[in-house]
Amino acid sequence: MAYEFPEGWRFRMTGWRKFFILVFLVAVGVMIYRLVYGLGAATHLNDQWPWGWWIAVDVLIGVALAGGGYSTAFLVHILHRKQFAPVARAALLTSMLGYILVLIGLFMDIGRWYNFWRPFLVYPGSWHSVLFEVFWCISLYTMVQVLEFGSIVFERVKSDWLKRVFDAMLPPLFILGVVLPTLHQSSLGSLYVVTVDRLDPLWWSIALPIFFLLSSFFVGPAMVTLEGSLAAKAYGRQMEIPVLSRLVKVGAWVMFIYLVLKLIDLGYRNQFGHLFDGSLESNLFLLEIVGGVIVPMIMFAIPSVRNSAGGLITASVLTVGGVILNRMNVVFTGMAAAMGGHYFPKWTEFMVTAGLIALAVLAYCFLVENFAILPAEEHVPAGKPSEAHTSYTVVG
């Protein structure tokens, strides 16, 4: 397949992009401040709330939302459902960027950052730690994604030899690229298994890893949809509605399984009474389940809804919101009663997150404008997308 790349590297400056650059630069300042003066100076974290905004948003939510990468990869590269291929590269890109941000966020959050490499060494007993598994998996998976992406990079950076090397690596990478996220998406849930008796029983469950895994899987299609719609808007393109519509249908099935398991789990642990007792916890839980799972699941299930851009986007927003709320609930709502104390993030904490997102947006723009990531326009309009020939283009 032939690619046409424009001459030289391009990066269009717009007002928005200048703004994002500014946000990023401020965040860099904040990050330096944090690394030099420590967590106490740069955050409102405290002994009651050792984990806060960065872990919740930059790590837990970041990883979950980057789940679009592996769920799409699973469909496209493992199951060879080529009908989903048009969105695969974009999903990989956003996922990779997401994971890089997660790693930066994690680095910001560890207090003795010069020791960040320690967990790569295996000390007696350290492998029992859930975090050990999470750390290894996330790091490896980020590497896997970078390598996968290498194949795209070397389309443009003309080196057929390197491109061949990378392509040869792809099949095992695809498999690793699904195994690793499966492990750590679930392990992020396992992290909170230790909070038995403290995390509110609406969320605590020995099956937390399964719930985290499933929700990261079904949030994938919703995230891909949202990225697609944003990219479409930004680059004046059409959304890949037929592809997305099928994708979210898969998502809806997973949501259904998730919901059923959740209900069985609650019933098994006798928590239905708590579910409707009107407490803050129960209300937020209901909001998360009804607004973030049941409603979008039904919307995705109705063909007319999921085939319209509006319906698709609305349901996706709900799904993503539901998963965000779920992670927030686990970190904050569910732990509040047991932890006591008070925590509200400092502006610097928000700033770092904002800066990281700005960085991601800028990187995304640069990469889709210089590498073949979004599908070529001619395949897009209505009807069945071609299953045999997916080609990508450089936008701009």
Binder among 79, 146, 157, 168 for other proteins (CB under 8 A): 79
Task: Please give the C-alpha separations between residue 346 and each of 40, 52, 153, 358, in angstroms, as whole numbers.
Answer: 10, 10, 38, 19
Binder among 8, 15, 125, 236 for other proteins (CB under 8 A): 125
393 contributes a contact to other proteins by CB under 8 A:
no
57 contributes a contact to other proteins by CB under 8 A:
no
283 contributes a contact to other proteins by CB under 8 A:
no
Q: 392 has which bridge partners? A: 375
142 contributes a contact to other proteins by CB under 8 A:
no
384 contributes a contact to other proteins by CB under 8 A:
no
Q: Please say whether the beta carbons of 386 and 85 come within 8 A.
A: no
Integer-rounded Cα Rg, in Å, for the chain is: 21
CB of 48 to other proteins, least distance (A): 8
Helix or strand or coil: residue 29? helix
98 contributes a contact to other proteins by CB under 8 A:
no
CB hemisphere CA count around 324 (13 angstroms): 13
Binder among 54, 135, 258, 343 for other proteins (CB under 8 A): 135
363's tokens: 């990187």
Binding mask 145-164 for other proteins (x = CB under 8 A): --------------------
Site residues for other proteins, 325-344, by CB under 8 A, read 338-339
85 contributes a contact to other proteins by CB under 8 A:
yes
113 contributes a contact to other proteins by CB under 8 A:
yes
Binder among 10, 18, 118, 342 for other proteins (CB under 8 A): 118
Site residues for other proteins, 209-248, by CB under 8 A, read 209
Q: Please say whether the beta carbons of 105 and 356 come within 8 A.
A: yes
14's tokens: 């717009």
284's tokens: 């937020």
Q: For other proteins, give the closer residue by CB, 108 or 312.
A: 108
Binder among 16, 19, 116, 272 for other proteins (CB under 8 A): 116
CB of 107 to other proteins, least distance (A): 10
182 contributes a contact to other proteins by CB under 8 A:
yes
Which run of H or E residues covers position 48? none
Distance from C-alpha of 244 to C-alpha of 367, rounded to nearest angstrom = 22
Q: Please say whether the beta carbons of 39 and 343 come within 8 A.
A: no
Q: For other proteins, give the closer residue by CB, 106 or 320.
A: 106
Helix or strand or coil: residue 78? helix
358 contributes a contact to other proteins by CB under 8 A:
no
Cβ-in-10-Å burial (0-12, 13-18, 19+) of 3 comes to: middle
Distance from C-alpha of 19 to C-alpha of 15, rounded to nearest angstrom = 6
Binder among 1, 12, 278, 384 for other proteins (CB under 8 A): 1
349 contributes a contact to other proteins by CB under 8 A:
no
175 contributes a contact to other proteins by CB under 8 A:
yes
